Structure 1
Amino acid sequence: MRRKSVVATTETIETGPANDRSTRRVASVTAAARTNPFMFGLLGALGVLVALAIGGMVDQLATVFVYIGVAIFLALGLDPIVRLIERKLPRAAAVAIVVAIVLLAFAGILLSIVPILVEQITNLIDDGPEMIADIMASAWFQDLSNQFGSTFEDAASSVLTFLQDPGNLADIGGGVFAVGAGIAGGVTGGIIVLILTLYFMASLRSMKAVAARFVPAYQRETFSELLQDISGAVGRYVMGQASLALINGVLSLIFLTIIGAPVPALLALIAFIGSMIPLVGTLAASIINALICLIVSPITALIAIGYYLVYMQIEAYVLSPRIMSKAVAVPGALVVIAAVAGGALGGVLGALVAIPVAASVIIIVQKVVFPAQDRKKTPPVLTAP
């Protein structure tokens, strides 16, 4: 009986129009697969292989997807500035102005940071033994040695012996070369993200219009409003976080210059980048800057620690509530949960985008889920079969 049904199905399909040959073949193979376990298993194995191939391609393109995601995130963050300038000028001029500002800022960061990094790494390799000897001869090191015995002196002597060995210096040079290659890769990735950001920022409206075309016509207006609210929330969040980071960077530059910290411009950039990461970024950048201040003296490091402790309290209780409450309306508990979950799933980038994602989910719930539930005023009527 099964064989007759397969033949009948095939014959029925073959009597159709001549231009449907591919459809007839697929239907014939499907009908045969239903009756032949071997064909069924073969099709299943082919499906698994296709899924594995797609997974491998996605894994290979993970870095590209990260670049695209970060670029879209930054483009949404710069869109409020474009719309602000657009009130006075056409959109093309507004985009051109923002592009020029971003390019100048990016070039300024590269020109100010890369030479400093190269110089500091070179000085560290050349002057490392002399710096350790000076530290061992300082008064505070002698006081610690007198209080805790020869532990510090033995450790410093071991480090000094290590740095005086030419073979070890070669190993350090190889490590520095690896670090330099990593920095070069990061700069290349930053340039790619910058180019994609500029493209996405210029074509953001057309991208939203194309996205709306995938929705049925009777739902496009609601979808467009929802998409606009989500993009606005992401943009306000990025601008708010960038404002906090800019405040931290400028104040760090001023204060670290006053106390005589080494390379205050580099430390200010570290503070700026750290403040872009929610919750833990400011703390991590503050610890790094305080440790770098140890190169000058422990007193300078203690002053830097005291400053950052005071600043973090002001940022947490004064600056952040005032700025972020206008940016995204996300409850404090959800901010912590989203940041921790994003960091666990996606590292630094995950923590960076977790809060706007949480804000987007809240907007979807408020604009879609709640109205749908509110329209259900009566229970469904059950009809007898």
Structure 2
Amino acid sequence: MRDLPPDAMPASDVQGRARGARGGHADAAEVTDVLPALAAPSAARGRSSARTTASHARGAPSAAGDPADDRAPADLPYGMPGKPLARGPFLWGLTAALGVLTAWGLAQALVSSRSVIVLIVVAAFLAVGLNPVVEMLQRRGMSRRWAISVVFLGVIMLFALFGLAIVPPVGQETSDFLSAVPEYVESLSANPTIRQLDEDYKILANLQAYVTSGGLGTAVAGGILGAGAVVLNAFFSGFTLLVLTLYFLGSLPTIKEYLLLLVPASRRPRTRAIGDEILDGIGGYVAGNVLISVIAGGLSWLFLTVAGARYALALALVIAVMDLIPLVGATVGAVLVSAVGFLQSWPLGIACVIFFVVYQQVENYVIYPRVMSRSVDVAPAVSVIAALFGGALLGAVGALLAIPVAAAVALIVREVVLPRQARL
């Protein structure tokens, strides 16, 4: 028997291993037949891994989120997925429509809450205007809480004085008018022209039928309810305004510090200085405007008392309140008071017209420039334009707020925008 090389294997071992290999192939075939569902995914995963590896080797992006998913068609019975909706026109249009609806909803919410926004703005404006008085009392040794209480009590007394001066004359005039209605009817009946019109068109008969049918009572009741609703709404708005002003006045330093925290730390000193100057300008404007109104009301009361007008105090308060509105307030107040003067007597009405024309010239060219020279620095043309825009947007409240807002914008432009433009 020949000697075998060291790596040679006996024939018996070779045959045994061949039988084992055939047995192993048979076992694998049985397993494959039993578990066909597991064999295909394994092959698919193998092919997917191979393609992913090849894709990475070529520098292609990752297949995560790719519409061409690396799965075999056998795993996707409904076909390969299409492009994602993020790039399609449908999702873009849906997003744009939702954005438009959201903006429209916010606009409707702002319009619906316009009255509340106006109350908040006016309360903040009054708080800023009353703050210099509070700080003046603080400098004289009074705590801020007591200073706010004193100032707020003075504001309430002014409101009460205005109500006491206006309500009794209005009530008395209404009562006198109702008492004089029968005399007016008799005078109309005795007038030849009215008698002829009544004979032609049956005016008095139709009026009597309207009164007795209950239509007049329904109209009067509706008018009374409407007037009561207006008065109640005005009372509620005034009370809300006072409460908001009190809260703003008490927390004004805290609000200022909180708003400064929203500014970068490197810009806080400059922002604080500009903000303090703006607040001082608004406070000076409010104080100056109130002082001018007090002067107008005081001189009007003195003139009306000397001229013998009835309800001189109420008419003077009307002048003072209307004078708070820039540009047109003084003129409107003068027209109203002059009309009341003409109703009392022609000489009194003519005297009222002469007095208010002369006084408005003095106020416009003497009093107003001297009082406002230390509070706001706004060109006359800018003041007129700002008042017109403010009145168009928010009515009398907008006209009242327009001038200090214009002064604040002018200050920001002068201190921020112009230096930045100069450095470019």
Same fold (TM over 0.5): yes
Give, in whole Å, the separation in 2 of the partners of 1:129 and 1:313: 44
Alignment partner, residue 291 of structure 2: 243
- 2:242 is aligned with 1:194: yes
The 5 A counterparts of 1:53-64 are 53-64=105-116
Across the aligned residues of Structure 1 and Structure 2, the Cα RMSD in angstroms comes to 3.2
- 2:280 is aligned with 1:232: yes
Decide which structure has greater helix share.
1
Alignment partner, residue 336 of structure 2: 288
Residue 257 (structure 1) shift: 2.1
Alignment partner, residue 69 of structure 1: 121
| Cα deviation code 1:163-184 (max 9, x no counterpart) | 9874658645643543343233
Give, in whole Å, the separation in 1 of the partners of 2:217 and 2:310: 24
Alignment partner, residue 341 of structure 1: 389
SS at match of 1:294: helix
The TM-score normalised by the length of structure 1 is: 0.79
Contact 1:249 1:269 (C-alpha < 8 Å) held by counterparts: yes
Give, in whole Å, the separation in 1 of the partners of 2:394 and 2:312: 31
| Cα deviation code 1:250-299 (max 9, x no counterpart) | 12222212222232222112101110001110000100111112231122
Alignment partner, residue 297 of structure 1: 345
Alignment partner, residue 147 of structure 2: 94
- 2:169 is aligned with 1:113: no
The 5 A counterparts of 1:1-385 are 8-9=64-65, 32-88=84-140, 89-128=142-181, 130=183, 166=211, 171=219, 174-175=222-223, 177-376=225-424
Residue 77 (structure 1) shift: 0.8
Residue 5 (structure 1) shift: 8.2
Alignment partner, residue 381 of structure 1: none
Contact 1:129 1:163 (C-alpha < 8 Å) held by counterparts: no
Give, in whole Å, the separation in 2 of the partners of 1:226 and 1:289: 42
Residue 36 (structure 1) shift: 2.6
Give, in whole Å, the separation in 2 of the partners of 1:184 and 1:243: 30
**Cα distance 1:69–1:320, how it changes in 2: closer, same or farther (>3 A)?**
same
**Cα distance 1:82–1:124, how it changes in 2: closer, same or farther (>3 A)?**
same
Give, in whole Å, the separation in 2 of the partners of 1:176 and 1:290: 28
Residue 352 (structure 1) shift: 0.8
Give, in whole Å, the separation in 2 of the partners of 1:309 and 1:302: 11
| Cα deviation code 1:74-118 (max 9, x no counterpart) | 111111111111111222222221122112222332333334333
**Cα distance 1:292–1:33, how it changes in 2: closer, same or farther (>3 A)?**
farther
Which stretches in structure 2 are left out of the alignment for 5+ residues?
A: 1-59, 68-82
Larger Rg over CA atoms: 2
Give, in whole Å, the separation in 2 of the partners of 1:372 and 1:9: 47
Give, in whole Å, the separation in 2 of the partners of 1:6 and 1:351: 63
Which stretches in structure 1 are left out of the alignment for 5+ residues?
A: 12-30, 138-144, 377-385
Q: How many residues align?
A: 339
The TM-score normalised by the length of structure 2 is: 0.72
Alignment partner, residue 15 of structure 1: none
Contact 1:6 1:32 (C-alpha < 8 Å) held by counterparts: no
